[in-house]
Structure 1
Amino acid sequence: MMIKGFYHLAESYHGERELKNASYADEITIGLYSEDEGTEGEFAIKWFKDEELGARLEAYDDSWPILNQCLDLIQALKYKEGIKPDECVELLLKLGYKDLTNRENLYK
C-alpha cells in the first residue's frame, strides 16, 4: 500500500550538514512511498537562498505522474504565495501526508 508522505531536510538529523554548503536553505521531498521504504516517485519543494526564501517546485520527468496524485497539495499551494517551510509542513499534515523525516541518527 502506498502512502503520501514527505521528508523535511532542515528537521532531519543530517539536515544542518547537508544544507551548510547547499544553494538552497531548505527542502521538503514529497512522494508516494511504500512501507518497505520504496517509492513510486517523488518531487521536492526547495527554498533557495538567493531568492529570499521563495519556494520552487522540482520534479524529474519520471516523477511527473506523482504530481497528478498530489493534486490536493498543488491546489492548496496555489493560494500560498510566499509559503515558508514550516507552513508547508503544516499544510502537508493538514492534507494527511505522513511526516517521514528521519530526526534521529540510527547509525550512531
Structure 2
Amino acid sequence: MTDPLATAIIVAALVVAAYGLFAALRDRRMDGLHLAGLGVLEVLLLVQAVLGLVKVGGDEGPADGATFVGYLLGVLLIPPAGAGWGVLERSRWGPAVIVVAGLSVAVMIVRMGQIWDGTVV
C-alpha cells in the first residue's frame, strides 16, 4: 500500500464525512458538493485499487492477499452507494448517509494498512 495515498484517502473521506455531518446538523439536503466530494474520493480509491492490484500481482504485499483484495474492491462500492442513497433520501438523512460512507471508507483504509503490514487485530 502507498502510505501517502492512503493518508490522502483518509483525509478526503473524513472531510466528506464532516461536510455531511455539517449539512445533516443544519437540516439540509444533499447538494452538489457532497457528490463532488464522493467523486474525488472514488477517484482516489480507484488509483489505490490499481496500485494495490499491481503490487499484489507482483508478489509484493500482505500474506493474506485475498482479504486485502476483498477490502480493496469492496471499498470501491461505498462512495457510489452512499451517493445513490443520499440522492434518494430527500431529508437531513441524505447527508447522514454520506457521513457513514466517509467514515466507513476511512476505517476500511486503516484496516487495509493493517492487513498490508501484517498487523493482527
Q: Could you state the TM-score of these two structures normalised by the residue count of structure 1?
A: 0.33
More strand by share: 1
Larger relative contact order (CA 8 Å, sep ≥ 6): 2
More helix by share: 2
Q: Which has the larger radius of gyration?
A: 2
Q: Could you state the TM-score of these two structures normalised by the residue count of structure 2?
A: 0.31
